[in-house]
C-alpha cells in the first residue's frame, strides 16, 4: 500500500447532516487514508529502546525493544573501535558471538533493565535498589534448566514490583509490535551530545536481520543524512519522519561507522506493516452554513501524525472552519506521537506535558516549538477508554485553551513505559516515567473530567475557550 508519494483517496460523503449528542454514534466511514506499514524494531541496544504510552492493560499491542549487543551478528567479526579522548587510540575488539543464549543471561538482563530504568509509582514500597539486588542473588543462586522456567521467573520477578504495566512479553507477543517502528527500516535513533554543545543522531538499536541491519547499518553508527538532507541539528523524531516512505521503496542514508568512521552511503529498502489510524470526513451543520472537520484517531502509531496532518489540510481545503478530534476508545500508543500531535494545535512556547522519571533525561518540560497547524476551535471527544497518549493530547489542548473536552471522564493513565527486547526474542515492558498536565494535574488514577457531557453548540465552545483565555491572561 502507498501513502507518502501517492495522493490519498477522497473522503466519503458525510453520514450525518448535523452532529448528534455524544451518546449518539459519531463513527468514521470505512475509508479515508491508505494504510502504510512498518517493521518491528527488535532493537539491539543497552539503552531505552522506545518510549510508549501503553493503554489500559496488557492486551493492547505495544512494543519496541532492546537486546544485548552480543546478538548483533551471528557471525564472527573483528570490529575496529575508536577510543575517544585517548589520542585516537585504536584497538580491535573481537565480536564473535555464540548462538547459544543461556536461560540465566535472559533472566539477568531482565533484572538489569528494571534495575536501570524502573520508576516505582505505587504507594507500596515494593521496590528499592537493595531489595532488587537481593532478588537477583536469590534468583540466580541456582541454574535455570528450561526457557519456560526462565520466562516464569521473569514474570514473577516483574509481578513483585506491584506495577500492573510492567510485564513480560512472550516472543509471539513481542513480534506483534512492528507498528511502533518510527522509521520503516528497523532502526531506533537517539539524540546524543556531540561534545561541542550540540547533538548528533546515533543508532541506538536496530532490527536483527531487518532492512537497515541487512544493508550494513550497525549499532552505534551516526546518521549523517537522509536522501541528501543533512540531519545535523534535527531531532530523532524529525529524522525518523524523513526515513518514512512507501513500502518497498528505497531510502539513501549516510552513516558514520563508530567513532572513527568511515562514512558510508547505504540504500535501504523500506518494509512496513503499520496501518493508518486516522479517519476523517466533512460534516455540514446549521443547515449547511457551517462545515466541521471530523477526525477520528484510533491509536498513536508511527503514521498518526503524518496522516492527521494530511486529514486536517484536506478538511481545511474543503472548507472546515472548526474541528472535532475523536479520541474515544483510543488507549494510547507512542508517547512521542502523542506529543507531536498535540504540538500541531498549540502556540509556540505552550507546554505539552511535564515528564518526570528516575533518569534526568526524562524530567523535562516539553513545549511546542512552532506555530500551530490550525487555529480553529476544536472539540475533543473522550470517554472512559481514552488513555495514555490520548490523555496527553486531550489535556494539552484543554489546558492551553485550544479545545473543550466532550463526553465522559477519561481513564487516568499518566505513566510512560518503554519496551525492551531480551536475547531470545521475548521482551519486558517497564514503567520508566510519569507525566503531569500543563496545569500540573497528575491524572494517573484520576482521569480528566470533560467540560461538557453532551455535544455543545459551537457558540458555547467559543464562549468557553474565550473565558479560558481570559483566566490565563488575567
Positions marked active-site: 388, 413
Pairing of strands 229-230, 250-256: unpaired
Cα(422)–Cα(434) distance, rounded to whole angstroms?
A: 24
Please provide residue 352's backbone torsions phi and psi, each rounded to the nearest 5 degrees: -90, -60
To the nearest 10 degrees (0 to 180), the angle between helices 389-399 and 335-343 is: 20
Other CB atoms closer than 10 Å to residue 42's CB: what's the count?
A: 29
Q: What is the CA radius of gyration of the chain?
A: 23
Pull the grid cell for residue 280: 476523517
Pull the grid cell for residue 54: 501503553
Please provide residue 378's backbone torsions phi and psi, each rounded to the nearest 5 degrees: -130, 140
DSSP-assigned letters across all residues of 281-314: EEEEETTTTEEEEEEEE--B-TTHHHHHHHHHHH
Q: 233-268 burial, b if ≥16 CB within 10 A, otherwise e? A: ebbbbebbbbbbbbbeeebebbbbbeeeeeebebeb
Q: Which residue has the cell 449528542?
A: 21
Amino acid at each position: 500500500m502507498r501513502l507518502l508519494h501517492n495522493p490519498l483517496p477522497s473522503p466519503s460523503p458525510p453520514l450525518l447532516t448535523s452532529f448528534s449528542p455524544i451518546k449518539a454514534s459519531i463513527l468514521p466511514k470505512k475509508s479515508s487514508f491508505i494504510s502504510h506499514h512498518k517493521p518491528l524494531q527488535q532493537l539491539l541496544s543497552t539503552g531505552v529502546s522506545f518510549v510508549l504510552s501503553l493503554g489500559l492493560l496488557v492486551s493492547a499491542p505495544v512494543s519496541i525493544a532492546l537486546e544485548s549487543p552480543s546478538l548483533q551478528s551471528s557471525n564472527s567479526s573483528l570490529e575496529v573501535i575508536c577510543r575517544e579522548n585517548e589520542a585516537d587510540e585504536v584497538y580491535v575488539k573481537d565480536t564473535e558471538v555464540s548462538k547459544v543464549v543461556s536461560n540465566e543471561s535472559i533472566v539477568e538482563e531482565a533484572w538489569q533493565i528494571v534495575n536501570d530504568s524502573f520508576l516505582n509509582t505505587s504507594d507500596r514500597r515494593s521496590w528499592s535498589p537493595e531489595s532488587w539486588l537481593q532478588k537477583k542473588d536469590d534468583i540466580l543462586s541456582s541454574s535455570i534448566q528450561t526457557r519456560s522456567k526462565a520466562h516464569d521467573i521473569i514474570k514473577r520477578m516483574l509481578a513483585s514490583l506491584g506495577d500492573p504495566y510492567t510485564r513480560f512479553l512472550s516472543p509471539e507477543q513481542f513480534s506483534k509490535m512492528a507498528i511502533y517502528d518510527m522509521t520503516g527500516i528497523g532502526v531506533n535513533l537517539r539524540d546524543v551530545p556531540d561534545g561541542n554543545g550540540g547533538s548528533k543522531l546515533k543508532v541506538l538499536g536496530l532490527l536483527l536481520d531487518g532492512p537497515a541491519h541487512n544493508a550494513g547499518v550497525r549499532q552505534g553508527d551516526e546518521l549523517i543524512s537522509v536522501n541528501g538532507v543533512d540531519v545535523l541539528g534535527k531531532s530523532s523524531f524529525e529524522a525518523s519522519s524523513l526515513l518514512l516512505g512507501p513500502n518497498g521503496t528505497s531510502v539513501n542514508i549516510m552513516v558514520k561507522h563508530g567513532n572513527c568512521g568511515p562514512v558510508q552511503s547505504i540504500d535501504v529498502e523500506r518494509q512496513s506493516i503499520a496501518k493508518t489510524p486516522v479517519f476523517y470526513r466533512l460534516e455540514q451543520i446549521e443547515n449547511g452554513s457551517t462545515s466541521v472537520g471530523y477526525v477520528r484517531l484510533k491509536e498513536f502509531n508511527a503514521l498518526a501524525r503524518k496522516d492527521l496532518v494530511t486529514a486536517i489540510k484536506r478538511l481545511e481545503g474543503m472548507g472546515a472552519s472548526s474541528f472535532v478530534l475523536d479520541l474515544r476508545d483510543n488507549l494510547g500508543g507512542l508517547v512521542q506521537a502523542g506529543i507531536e500531535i498535540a504540538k500541531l494545535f498549540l502556540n509556540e512556547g505552550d507546554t505539552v506535558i511535564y515528564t518526570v522519571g528516575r533518569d534526568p533525561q526524562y524530567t523535562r518540560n516539553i513545549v511546542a516549538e512552532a506555530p500551530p497547524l490550525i487555529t480553529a476551535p476544536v472539540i475533543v471527544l473522550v470517554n472512559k477508554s481514552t488513555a495514555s497518549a490520548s490523555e496527553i493530547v486531550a489535556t494539552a489542548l484543554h489546558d492551553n485553551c485550544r479545545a473543550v473536552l466532550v463526553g465522559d471522564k477519561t481513564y487516568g493513565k499518566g505513566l510512560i513505559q518503554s519496551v525492551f527486547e531480551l536475547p531470545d526474542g521475548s521482551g519486558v515492558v517497564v514503567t520508566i516515567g510519569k507525566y503531569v498536565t500543563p496545569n500540573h494535574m497528575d491524572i494517573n488514577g484520576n482521569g480528566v473530567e470533560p467540560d461538557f457531557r453532551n455535544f455543545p453548540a459551537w457558540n458555547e465552545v467559543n464562549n468557553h475557550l474565550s473565558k479560558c483565555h481570559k483566566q490565563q491572561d488575567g
